[in-house]
Structures are given as structure tokens and as C-alpha cells.
């Protein structure tokens, strides 16, 4: 059974070191403004850490995975938040947790130059095109 996946999280050079030590496979992507790393997909479609629909990387979880089911993207010159409505945990998120996830997602985004981050978001963010909903719209709907 295929599990929920955010796509491939963006990995910084600092983060990559801990994955090298664990024998995790990933690849480097270079852009005109910098570089980043992404995991090599297992079986062509799932995260290497996904097992029986659950994450086995709790001790070395990438920042983007820790923010799931929330994702920040650049739209024009500002941040926009999306939430994966296919994630079963969505109905249990408190406003306080959502605010913490937003802060962490922005922190993750700011580790990279804007063009580098946009390259990643255009090529590797999985759920936004499939089941992503703008966070503001999601919150309005859930308050009804």
C-alpha cells in the first residue's frame, strides 16, 4: 500500500551529513543560486523512510517532514501555505500547532536562496498539486 508522502523534502548541506552517515541515498540538485539535496525515491515513488504508511525517520526527520501536513511555497514575493487534506491528522490540528508548523516551514524555506527553493518546490513537492488546499481556505472551511 502506498503511503502519504509530501514528495521529496529539501535537504541542506548540513542535514545531508547526517544522512550520509546513515547510508541514506540522495542526490544533489544545483541551481544558479545554490544547491540542495533530495532523497532518491524508494521504488520510484515513496520516501526511503516510509514503511507501512508510517515514517521510520523520527530521530533524523528532515525539517520539511516535521512540518507535514503543512508546506510553505513562494508565490510572487510572499509566502503561501498549503495543507495536505489527504493527511488523516489534518482534522486533529490545533491553531497553536498550525502556527508552530508555519514558523518552522518558513525557517526551512529561508535556509535556501529563493530561486533554489522555488526549483525544489516546482520539481519535488508532491501533495500541493494533488491534494493541497490553501491553508486560509482550509481554516475557513473547518470553522463552518
Look at residues 67, 56, 58, 49 and name the one whose alpha carbon lies nearest to residue 107.
67
SS3 110: coil
How high is the mean pLDDT of the chain? 80
Q: Among 40-44, 80-84, 91-95, 112-116, whose mean pLDDT is lowest?
A: 40-44
- Residue 42 grid coordinates: 524508494
pLDDT over 70, % of the chain = 82
Contacts of 129 (CB under 8 A, 6+ apart): none
Is the pLDDT at 33 greater than 80? The verdict is: yes
- Residue 89 grid coordinates: 491528522
Task: For helices 95-109 and 135-142, give the axis angle rounded to 10 degrees.
Answer: 180
Q: What is the per-residue pLDDT across 100-111, written as a single tens digit (0 to 9) for each?
A: 999 998 988 889
Amino acid at each position: 500500500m502506498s503511503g502519504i508522502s509530501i514528495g521529496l523534502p529539501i535537504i541542506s548541506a548540513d542535514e545531508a551529513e547526517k544522512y550520509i552517515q546513515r547510508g541514506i541515498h540522495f542526490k544533489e540538485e544545483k541551481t544558479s543560486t545554490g544547491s540542495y539535496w533530495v532523497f532518491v525515491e524508494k521504488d520510484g515513488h515513496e520516501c526511503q523512510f516510509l514503511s507501512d504508511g508510517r515514517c521510520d525517520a523520527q530521530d533524523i526527520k528532515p525539517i520539511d517532514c516535521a512540518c507535514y501536513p503543512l508546506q510553505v511555497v513562494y508565490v510572487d514575493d510572499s509566502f503561501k501555505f498549503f495543507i495536505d487534506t489527504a493527511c488523516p491528522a489534518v482534522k486533529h490540528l490545533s491553531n497553536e500547532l498550525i502556527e508552530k508548523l508555519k514558523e518552522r516551514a518558513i525557517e526551512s524555506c529561508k535556509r535556501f536562496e529563493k530561486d533554489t527553493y522555488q526549483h525544489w518546490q516546482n520539481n519535488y513537492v508532491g501533495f500541493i498539486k494533488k491534494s493541497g488546499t490553501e491553508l486560509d481556505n482550509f481554516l475557513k472551511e473547518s470553522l463552518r
